[in-house]
Amino acid sequence: MTEPVLWTELPEALNRGHAYLDRVTPQDAGQPLSEFYAARYAHSSGAVWLQRLAAGEICRNGQQLQADVALAAGDGLVWHRPPWQEAAVPVLPSPLFDDGDLLVFDKPSGLPVLPAGGFLEHTLLAQLQGRWPEARPVHRLGRFTSGLLVCARLPASRAWLSALLRESTAQRRCTKTYRALLQSPVPESPLLALEPDQQLSLTTPIGRCAHARLGSIWAAAPTDPAALPASSALRLLERDERAWLVEVTIATGRPHQIRIHTAAAGAPLLGDPLYGPGGGAQAGALPGDGGYHLHAHRLQLVCPDGDLLALEAPLPEALRGAADG
């Protein structure tokens, strides 16, 4: 039986703040600065932006402002956001694989990959660059998705890997396999017809849909002609009254693809606060909210020189089946 991995943490800490740069377009010219910011950063109302102006946090064309002004096309704006407290996150472990260019990590659940959702310095990217300054992630995993995360030092490697992990892999140059726990399917779900070891193809397109808190969000968009095609193959491993254990191999790398596809099929990830049956997003939840179990378990890809790279990240205890020991 595989021993559980014990992660160490970066403790909760105050970051150094951040400067957000914006340029006023002709379409935005003439409107008050507070309205401009309220539209661009919808997390705060115009009244809050007036308070930030009064606190001296915003500059226009290099000059600090303390009252609302009408904007002109070409104005350069800087919001100097004061430092804020970032939650504790796991420490990035040593790589599972390092050939001098590619780095592959077993990303812990709870560690955001890139700055977002209140995280700036407590990210995988910041920890990566502190140890390997030239390396960058070539794809993303959700904050609470664990498992294989690929990074590369060379720009050319990042380019071909990013395309390989994002687009269709019909020629089997790349195979990405996840484990997940699903809630029991709704009565009309096609998953109910599955027996253990049987598969189901999931192909619901994924597109940008309206969201009350974010403006728009990635979700199931079966009737949107602009939505991205997406393909997943789900295999049932085990099921009980509480949850279904499944393996999902994805042939495309769309945002939140597995969370959306299983939800669209009537069986959202167990504990997922964002995507409900049908694959739509809940208005009160955000992509970085946790509670679900999803793990990038295996990766196989054909390198430009023809060599096959095959990697596996140990399964978290919650995602081990009876056959895994």
- At residue 1, the pLDDT reads 45
pTM (2 d.p.): 0.88
Query: What is the Cα–Cα distance from 19 to 77, expressed in whole angstroms?
Result: 10
Kindly give the parts of the chain with pLDDT less than 70: 1-7, 168-172, 325
- Classified by CATH at the fold level, domain 18-82 comes out as 3.10.290
Q: Residue type at 12? A: E
- Classified by CATH at the fold level, domain 173-292 comes out as Pseudouridine synthase (3.30.2350)
**CATH 3.10.290.10 region(s) of the chain?**
18-82
In 3D, which of 28, 27, 68, 26 has the Cα closest to residue 51?
68
- At residue 7, the pLDDT reads 65
**CATH 3.30.2350.10 region(s) of the chain?**
173-292
In angstroms, the Cα distances linking 253 to 5, 142, 230, 261, 282 are 27, 12, 8, 12, 22
- At residue 171, the pLDDT reads 55
Q: Distance from first CA to last CA of the chain, Å, rounded?
A: 5
- At residue 5, the pLDDT reads 55
Query: What is the Cα–Cα distance from 275 to 266, expressed in whole angstroms?
Result: 10
- At residue 8, the pLDDT reads 87
By the 10 Å C-beta count (0-12 exposed, 13-18 middle, 19+ buried), 220 is classed as buried
